Each structure stands twice: as structure tokens, then as C-alpha cells.
A and B are shown apart, each in its own frame.
Chain A
Amino acid sequence: MNQKCYDALKAATDDIDKSNLPDNAKTALRGAANQLLFRLKRGIDTDKDLTQKFTDFKKRQQDHAKEKQDIAKRIDTLKGHVQTVLATQQTAQKQFDAYHAAHKTLKDQPFDKLSECVKAAAAGIRVDAKI
């Protein structure tokens, strides 16, 4: 949309008053030109406003798409981390089983409890998040 053209038409419309046209022609032309100027001004403002809003919206869409990528990466990272946790659990479990076998006579309740908790915790590990 062209602000310069609007300004030229507005100046020319104002100058109709100084022209030598018959009064009825002046009135008719000014009326039509003013209606058009009003619409043109509103159109220029709407065009600017919509253009800005469209730009902002596209930026938000891009940010949203990036957010999706970031979350997908974080889910992948978390899944990798869970694999590490499970590997740690398996290592711990092997050690516990070995010590349990070697120290059967101790019958320590805290030891048994710890071993059970490691098994239970490993069973509860999962990643449900999806995007």
C-alpha cells in the first residue's frame, strides 16, 4: 500500500476547494474523494497492522517448530540417560547378587532391602513422553 499516493490524493482533494469548478461538482468530487480517502487510510493502517501480525505469527510458528525439535531432542537424551540408569542398575544388581551369595550367613535385612529396592526401581523406569 502506498502512503505517498494517499498523501497526494489528500492534498489534491483539499485543493478542490480552491478550484474554479462549479459548487455542485466540487461537493460531489470532495464527497467521493473523502469516502475513498477514509477507506484508503483505513486500508493502509490495516495493511500495516496485518503485515506486522503475519510476521509475528510466522515467527511464533518458527519458534513453535523449534520447540518441537528441542523437546524431541530432550526426549531422546532422556531415553539415552535411562539406558545409562538401567546399565548402572544392572551393574549394581550384579554386585549385590555376588555379595549376597558371598555373605549369605550375614542375613542382613538392610542389605536385602537395598537389593529389592534396586530391582523395584529398575522395573519402574520408563519414558512415556512423546511429541
Chain B
Amino acid sequence: MDTQSIKKLADAVKGFDKTHLPPADKTKLKNLATDLAKQMGAALAEEGNIGNDLNQYNADGGQLANDRQELNDALDTFQTDLEHMAALWGKLDDARAAVEKSQKGKPADPAWHAFAEAVTACDAGVYPNMSTDLQPLK
């Protein structure tokens, strides 16, 4: 849309008062031109607003793509960390089993049993539930 055209039209509407047309005709034609200039002005303003919003929309889209990549990378890192944790669970459980074997036949130790139970419970319940809700973002 063209700002220059609207300005010229508005100027022409002002100059129209100097015509020698009958007053009723003058008013009618002037009103038509004025209405047209107003409608064009409104359309031009909205076109400008849409242009700005489109630029913002496109910028947001670029930012979203970057953020999605970062989050998916973070998820990969987290999953790698979980795999390392799984290996640690295995080592801890091996150590627990070795101690349990060496303790066989000895009087029950509440602290030890609580620890052994906590390891078993975590191993069985925590690790499989880790990050199951998180899926890579599309």
C-alpha cells in the first residue's frame, strides 16, 4: 500500500473546496474522497502492523527452533547421565551383595538392612521411572 498516494489524495481533498461546483455536489464528492482516504489510511496502518507482527512472528520462530535444539541436546545429556547412573546402581548393588555375603551368619544389623532395602527399592523403583515423561521435542 502507498503512503504517498494517500497524502496526495488528502491534499487534493483540501484543494477541492476551491472548485466552482454546486455546494451539494462539492460536499458529496468531497465526502466520497475523504471516506476513501480514511479507508486507505486504516488499511495502510493495519498492513504496517501486520508487517511488524510478521517480523516478530518469524523472529520468534527462529528463537523457538534454537531453543528446541538446546532442549533436545540437554535431554540427550540427561539421558547419558542416567545411563552412567545405571552403571553406578550396578556397582553399588555388587558392593552391597559382597558385604551381605561376608556378613552371612552374623547378627542382624538394622542400619545395614535399612541400607540394603533402600538400595533394592531404588534400583527397582527409581531408575526405571526416570525421565519416562520426557520425549524429544519436535
Contacts and interface: CB of A to CB of B under 8 A. Distances in A.
Q: Which of B2, B29, B53, B60 has the most CB of A within 10 A?
A: B29
- Interface SS of chain B: helix, strand, loop or mixed? helix
Q: Which 3 A-B pairs have the closest CB atoms?
A: A124-B2, A12-B118, A19-B111
Interface string B1-33: 110111011011101111111000100110011
Nearest to B46: A78
Interface string B30-41: 001101110110
Interface SS, A side: helix
Interface of B: 1-2, 4-6, 8-9, 11-13, 15-21, 25, 28-29, 32-33, 35-37, 39-40, 42-43, 46-47, 50-51, 53-54, 57, 60-61, 64, 67-68, 71, 74-75, 78, 81-82, 84-85, 88-89, 91-92, 95-96, 99, 102-103, 106-107, 109, 111-112, 114-115, 117-119, 121-122, 125-126, 129-131, 133-134, 137
Contacts of A58: 137
A111 B36 CA distance: 16
Given A99-B25, A117-B9, A78 B43 contact: yes
